[in-house]
């Protein structure tokens, strides 16, 4: 680590104590940011943590919808997103107007949104889910019909697991995971025939049917730790390799394709966390009424 970065890390620790702040980071963040965070996890763990922490400031190292969710669950706290341009193209694929239009087509459907949506879209939904609990959330719904927003791949994976419900899919997708193809899996498997394939449900069906395990980032980390296997092909964003390698120094992990990089997750650096704490930036503020309605959807998820 460069001396100036080491100095920044020390100053971050000092400011954190002084301001009663916590730093939370998603599993896709760069190694140095994961290293300095108080909590690292998947979307579900981080939203649970933000609902319960008694810190005054949450510095959210992730993307915009995650910091928004933290603010919705902890409206009295200051929530900072160190890089204001760190968005999620999949979340942008669902707009409020388009959702209202779609809801009219399916008046009997429960509206379930992946946490990768804006606060305004969450406000139009009955319940939220993450990739770790989507199947459980949809099974918990009394309706036979579900409108699932915005990830077509996660939605189709859940539809396969819950065949008794009619699930209407939105056409959104993650630009990073959707790029992986059947050919990519077959090529990687031929190079590493003794490796297990662990895939995120944001990948296409043609990838998921060839995987040995499908789960959220935290579930992939848990699976690799408990498995007696020692080689794995990883079909999710490369940031996860940091924890996989740290937890399992004797196991080998290969990224399934070199393209598994989310540019938005890579925007946050030690320097941006330093600036966030020093200048209180960039603060997430939400319309009160929207936040209140979105909170119902998130709390319904946390109660499942
Ligand atoms: P999880 O950490 O919940 O698996 O989410 C993956 C993701 O794409 C977040 O943007
Ligand atoms: Fe959005 Fe995909 Fe990046 Fe997650 S990995 S933040 S879904 S673009």
User: What pLDDT digit, counting tens, does each position of 124-149 carry?
Assistant: 999 999 999 999 999 999 999 999 99
What sign has the CA pseudo-torsion 34, 35, 38, 41?
Answer: positive
Question: Does the pLDDT of residue 1 top 90, yes or no?
Answer: no
Q: How does pLDDT run across 28-79, given as a tens digit for each residue? A: 999 999 999 999 999 989 988 998 999 999 999 999 999 999 999 999 999 9
Pick the ligand that lies closest to the CA of residue 86: 2
What CA–CA distance (Å, rounded) separates 84 from 297?
A: 24
- Strands of 145-149's sheet in order across: 127-129, 110-114, 145-149, 166-169
What CA–CA distance (Å, rounded) separates 239 from 231?
A: 18
CA separation (Å) from 75 to 51, 92, 278, 280, 301? 10, 23, 21, 16, 18
Q: How does pLDDT run across 177-217, given as a tens digit for each residue? A: 999 999 999 999 999 999 999 999 999 999 999 999 999 99
Output the pLDDT for position 281.
97
Output the pLDDT for position 47.
87
Q: Is 264 in the pocket of ligand 2 (CB under 6 A)?
A: yes
- State which of 65, 85, 90 you would mutate to test the pocket of ligand 2, scoring each by most atoms of that ligand within 8 A of its C-beta: 90
Pick the ligand that lies closest to the CA of residue 175: 2
Question: Does the pLDDT of residue 2 top 90, yes or no?
Answer: no
Q: What's the first-to-final CA gap in the chain, in angstroms?
A: 42
Q: What is the pTM of this model?
A: 0.97
Nearest one of 238, 241, 243, 242 to 261, comparing CA atoms: 238
| Residue 237 alpha carbon, nearest atom of ligand 2 | 5
Output the pLDDT for position 142.
97
Output the pLDDT for position 51.
87
What CA–CA distance (Å, rounded) separates 266 from 272?
A: 11
Domains of the chain listed by start with CATH number: 3-87+265-286 (3.40.50.10800), 90-173 (3.40.50.10800), 176-255 (3.40.50.10800)
What CA–CA distance (Å, rounded) separates 208 from 127?
A: 25
Strands of the chain (E only): list them.
21-26, 39-41, 57-61, 78-80, 110-114, 127-129, 145-149, 166-169, 196-199, 213-214, 231-235, 252-255
Nearest one of 124, 135, 52, 60 to 95, comparing CA atoms: 124
In this structure, what are the phi and psi dihedrals at residue 22, rounded to the nearest 5 degrees? -125, 150
Q: Is 89 in the pocket of ligand 2 (CB under 6 A)?
A: yes
Q: Which comes out higher in pLDDT, residue 295 or 44?
A: 295
Nearest one of 35, 25, 78, 44 to 282, comparing CA atoms: 78
Q: Is 27 in the pocket of ligand 2 (CB under 6 A)?
A: no
Output the pLDDT for position 164.
97
Indicate the pLDDT class of residue 296, thresholds 50, 70 and 90.
Answer: very high
What CA–CA distance (Å, rounded) separates 157 from 159?
A: 5
| Residue 262 alpha carbon, nearest atom of ligand 2 | 3
What CA–CA distance (Å, rounded) separates 80 from 280?
A: 7
Mean pLDDT in residue range 244-267: 98
Task: Give every CB contact of residue 120 below 8 A, 6+ residues apart in sequence.
Answer: 96, 290, 294
Nearest one of 142, 111, 145 to 126, comparing CA atoms: 111
Measure 7 CA to ligand 1 centroid, in angstroms: 31
Q: Looking at ligand 2, which residue's alpha carbon is closest to its atom 7?
A: 174
Question: Does the pLDDT of residue 96 top 90, yes or no?
Answer: yes
Average pLDDT score over the chain: 97
What sign has the CA pseudo-torsion 47, 115, 41, 38?
Answer: negative
- State which of 63, 89, 116, 298 you would mutate to test the pocket of ligand 1, scoring each by most atoms of that ligand within 8 A of its C-beta: 116
Output the pLDDT for position 58.
97
């Amino acid at each position: 680590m460069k001396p100036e970065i080491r100095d920044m890390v020390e100053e971050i620790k000092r400011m954190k104590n002084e301001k009663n702040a916590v730093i939370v980071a998603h599993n896709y963040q760069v190694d140095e940011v994961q290293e300095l965070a108080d909590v690292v996890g998947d979307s579900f763990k981080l939203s649970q943590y933000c609902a319960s922490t008694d810190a005054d400031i949450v510095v959210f190292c992730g993307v915009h919808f995650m910091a928004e969710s933290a603010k919705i669950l902890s409206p009295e706290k200051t929530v900072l997103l160190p890089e204001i341009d760190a968005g999620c193209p999949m979340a942008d694929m669902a707009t409020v107007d388009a959702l209202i239009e779609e809801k009219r087509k399916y008046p009997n459907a429960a509206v379930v949104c992946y946490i990768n949506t804006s606060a305004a879209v969450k406000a139009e939904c009955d319940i939220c889910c993450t990739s770790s609990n989507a199947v459980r959330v949809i099974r918990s719904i009394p309706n036979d019909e579900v409108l699932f927003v915005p990830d077509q791949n996660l939605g189709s994976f859940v539809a396969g697991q819950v065949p008794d419900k009619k699930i209407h899919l939105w056409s959104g997708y993650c630009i990073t995971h959707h790029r992986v193809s059947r050919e990519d899996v077959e090529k990687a498997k031929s190079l590493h025939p003794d490796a297990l394939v662990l895939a995120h449900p944001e990948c296409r069906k043609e990838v998921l049917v060839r995987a040995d395990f499908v789960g959220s980032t935290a579930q992939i980390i848990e699976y690799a730790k408990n498995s007696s296997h020692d080689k794995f092909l990883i079909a999710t964003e490369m940031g996860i390799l940091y924890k996989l390698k740290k937890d399992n120094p004797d196991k080998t992990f290969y990224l399934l394709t070199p393209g598994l990089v989310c540019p938005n997750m890579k925007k946050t650096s030690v320097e941006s966390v330093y600036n966030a704490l020093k200048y209180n930036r960039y603060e997430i503020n939400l319309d009160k009424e929207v936040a209140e309605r979105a909170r119902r959807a998130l709390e319904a998820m946390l109660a499942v």
